[in-house]
Amino acid sequence: MPLSARPFAALLAALALTLGLSITGSPAAARTDETPPAAEASDVSIAADTYTWKNARIDGGGFVPGIVFNRSEKNLAYARTDIGGAYRWDQTDKRWAPLLDWIDWDKWGWSGVVSLASDTAEPDNVYAAVGTYTNSWDPTNGAVLRSSDRGASWKAATLPFKLGGNMPGRGMGERLAVDPNKNSVLYLGAPSGKGLWRSTDSGVTWSEVTAFPNPGNYAQDPSDTSGYASDNQGIVWVTFDERSGGAGSATQDIYVGVADKENTVYRSTDGGGTWSRIAGQPTGYLAHKGVLDSSTGHLYLTLSDTGGPYDGGKGRIWRYATGTGEWTDVSPVAEADTYYGFSGLSVDRQKSGTLMATAYSSWWPDTQIFRSTDSGATWTKAWDYTSYPNRSNRYTQDVSSVPWLSWGANPSPPETTPKLGWMTEALEIDPFDSNRMMYGTGATVYGTENLTSWDSGGQFKITPMVKGLEETAVNDLASPPSGAPLLSALGDIGGFRHTDLDAVPAMMFTSPNLDSTTSLDFAESSPGTVVRVGNADAAPHIGFSTDNGANWFQASEPSGVTGGGTVAAAADASGFVWSPDGAAVHRTTGYGNSWTASTGIPAGATVESDRKNPKKFYGFKAGTFYVSTDGGATFTAKANNLPAEGNVRFKALPGTEGDIWLAGGTAAGTYGLWRSTDSGTSFTRFSGVEQADSVGFGKAAAGASYQTVFVSAKIGGVRGIFRSTDGGANWTRINDDAHQWGWTGAAITGDPRVYGRVYVSTNGRGIQVGESSDTGGGGTDPDPGTDPEEPPADADCSVTYKVTNQWSGGFQADVTVTNTGATAYDGWQLGWSFPDGQKVTQMWNATSQQDGAKVTATNAGWNAKVAAGSSAGFGFSGSWTGANTEPTAFTLGGEVCTVG
């Protein structure tokens, strides 16, 4: 099935994000924002702690609709995802580096990337067209982001319309393109009838190309009242014929693809001044891609009868001779034999006349990849039937680095496991290496480094090339006190038992295989018992495990169940309460052999269990809290002064009966964080928490009397991930502006075995794992109302400086300052000199001044106070020439620090 965020999942996110920024502008010009899109540090009087962040490795897990190689610099490549941001390829480690983690809560829609463009003339420049939905689900207009340091830092030009990185047609493209001859000129194809747009100042400002005659007319389902499938897919790709210009002179011949089955290709021969439909073009199809082979002058089109990425029943490949105007159908199979559309398309820039294409919508028995070495006159396939159902493959496939890609399946021929893929709308041959090719699927990025073996009669080897690209949408998280440190409930690929956070799990949850797991729970005093529920095309929607999620068995379910809903396990594993979609709340005292409807609680309520009393369960819906003291048989309404609208999530504290924390609401109504110490009879609101969306618990700090509380919240005017070690009296922001990941409201939990460790859900950037620099749990955070003394003149300090990424002429570094003295800092300035004259170009979580080689970094408002034994961290991007030697001497307040 397709592996990307479901529209309804993002709809829930959108409903929760009523504070999303709505950006408007005049209909003829886009608004430019010259400041970095990452939020400025806010002057919030809360304590500071330094966290490091990483993903719990899954490797992939979602749709990769675009891969872009730079054509002037070897090994420079980018990938875009529909909900999880953009990535740059790191050839040294052969992994993808995320580029958009700075996107904040209010602009969560910018995590959807509808197109990418890498500048041929200046490879440091990269552009991203961002926005997730064109309908009301996304409250924020789209933008074109621009970077002059390969994505280390960005500026934004907001647009007067929305873009759809997770809309139908998102695999077509690229919609964004840089003129290879005059790189100050860019074009963007817009959806929703907004037409073709152009920038002449390197993406700073944009205006509509009013001369372009056709904004498109194709919609997947014009009758869809939500605006999702009924949106006009618009202008879908832009391609330059680089031969028609010279360095510094705008390219004259430009080709544009339009979502219009009768008029799908247009051309300008005067640098975009005038446009016309190309005569003789194929009709009845949409051109998903248009790629020009400059060595032959051929423009190739891959066509489908729909916009994709899921649908497509017929397709063709056509070739246009730009010199003569001749059109030729060069499809590899007869039209009658297609049951799929064509999309993925690439030409080999090293071998004239060599091209490849994909049958992106061939779901069964597998996708198909085609290759031609004679400009499409003849083709060969990645696999062929010998005698049905047996097939012969031109490739071998090794998924040992990401073993779950086999799906634990054992299909009958002609299906195989693993598959070549599905939703294969992105395929690119490395322009510098004919042997390397990458292609995106609905679950991963595959690639090969011996592609030309295809032509010599051998087999080319396919492996996942997806390390570092984490694209799962996270619905729920659990960290048991024993067994695996983390259990995850994920959209589209079900979820995993994570026994090693730095290793890819061997297999997702099976028996049953759920399309998306919506909720999971373990028995607090018997954590080997785990239950999970989720969505599937048919029953079952629930599974149980008695070995901490290592193995599972299916269960029966109540009649009428249509989806997972939420589920809770009794503290001692004696029973379970399930609130599924499509049916009433039910309970079972076994492992789902029989179910009895609960009374006193409405259908659709969110359910949780008390973590000490096995007879006590809780529920919530529409502002009212419900309590059961008989194992879920009957519920009684209790507190009702809670948010009546919005997403509300609550958790009970492990080891203490009746201690409940509840987060949620809407910005237009009641919104915040509440606590009950009487099993939900009454709740008290935390006055200092303006908004909160999820809450969880972790190991207590050394000497603390209460477990550590983690929230995704807005406190002191700042959105972020916060921690309290004193029951909510004081809060510490533990993420920073470079680590925000858009929307983080679905789930959060600490680790009961490791102080400070927290697991954070994202909607497209996987599971974020935060580790505190205070690994020993060194007591509670300081009271923000106190006034610590200034550090004495001989204050002790230690500094670590680490280059985290480096490329030709640029780099990125992280710096951590640790207070090794006995007195707190109340404001700090760190100084150093660059050995090779490097320059700071942008700094986050601190402000910088530079005089020649000398740099001074000054604290932000929120991390000015650093308790004894604690740390503050910041990062920056910079430029270098000749060498990039790390500094070895640092001073704090004029005194020399040790270097760690």
Site of tokens 């570094």: 813
Task: Round to whole Å and give the CA distance between 198 and 175.
Answer: 11
Written as six digits, the tokens of 724 are 């309290």
Written as six digits, the tokens of 569 are 């396990």
Written as six digits, the tokens of 606 are 């969110």
**How far from each other are the two terminal CA atoms of the chain, in whole angstroms?**
49
Contact 190, 161 (CB under 8 A): yes
Written as six digits, the tokens of 829 are 């300035």
In this structure, the strands spanning 51-55 and 671-676 are unpaired
Written as six digits, the tokens of 820 are 């090794």
Q: Measuring CA to CA, which residue among 655, 645, 649, 657 is closest to residue 710?
A: 649
3-class secondary structure per residue, 524-566: CCEEEEEEEEEECCCCCCEEEECCCCCCCEECCCCCCCCEEEE
Q: Classify residue 340 by its DSSP letter.
A: S
Phi, psi of 93 (to 5 degrees): -100, -5
Burial of 144 (0-12, 13-18, 19+ CB in 10 A): buried
Residue type, 440: G
Element (H, E) at 89: strand 86-90
Q: Which residue numbers are catalytic?
A: 82, 492
In this structure, the strands spanning 617-621 and 445-448 are unpaired
Task: Round to whole Å and give the CA distance between 107 and 102.
Answer: 10
Contact 344, 350 (CB under 8 A): no
Per DSSP, the residues of 568-613 read EE-TTSS-EEEEEETS--EEESSSSSS-EE-BSS-TT-EEEE-SS-
Non-local CB neighbours of 851 within 8 Å, separated by 6+ positions:
none
Q: Measuring CA to CA, which residue among 156, 171, 164, 76 is closest to residue 118?
A: 76
Q: Measuring CA to CA, which residue among 554, 551, 678, 528 is closest to residue 616?
A: 678
